[in-house]
Every structure is written in structure tokens, then in C-alpha cells.
Amino acid sequence: MKALEMMGEALEIKNRILTYDHPDTSDSHYWLAYIHLELDDTDGSLSHFKNALKVRVSDGTENQNVSDTLYGLAQVDGFTRILL
């Protein structure tokens, strides 16, 4: 839980200092998504992956960050299907 709290705090700071669409902010969403997934919180994970993707596609869809985020979304989808 400590990692989740610390990453959440880091995201809050980045949102205050940087803009919502800053790449560093999307990185925080990306890593928070994985923490939520590890904690079996698929809703939280999905939310953060979607937020990261919104920012990452602003540079186009043909880049590594978009690919990584889509891969993460697929993991959430696969994880959700296993639980059902």
C-alpha cells in the first residue's frame, strides 16, 4: 500500500507543478495503473491506463509509450476475464 500512496502523492504534485498533458504526468498514471493491477484493483488500473493513453496519443499513435500503454490495457482486460 505504501507504493500506491507514494505514487498517488507524486501524481498530485506533478498535476500541480506540470500540466495534465505533460509526459511525466502520464508516466505516473502508467505506473499507478500497474500498482493497481498488482493489488487486483482492475477499475483503478483501467482508469490510470486510460489517463496515460490520453496524453501519450497526443504525439501520435506510432510510438513506444502508446504501445506500452495498450499492452497494459490488454493485461487488465485479460486479468478481468480470468476473474470472471
The grid coordinates of residue 29 equal 498514471
What range defines the domain where residue 23 resides? Answer: 2-83
Indicate the length of the chain as a whole number.
Answer: 84
pLDDT bracket for residue 9 (50, 70, 90): very high
In angstroms, rounded to a whole number, what is the distance separating the alpha carbons of residues 66 and 56?
A: 6
CATH number at residue 28: 1.25.40
Residue 64: how many other CB atoms lie within 10 Å = 8
Cα 70 to Cα 9, 21, 33, 77, distances in angstroms: 25, 18, 12, 10
Instruction: Please count the structural domains in the chain.
Output: 1
Task: Look at residue 69 and tell me whether its pLDDT is greater than 80.
Answer: yes
Better-predicted residue by pLDDT, 27 or 81: 27
The grid coordinates of residue 21 equal 498533458
Task: Look at residue 84 and tell me whether its pLDDT is greater than 50.
Answer: no
State residue 61's pLDDT score: 87
The whole model's pTM is what? 0.85
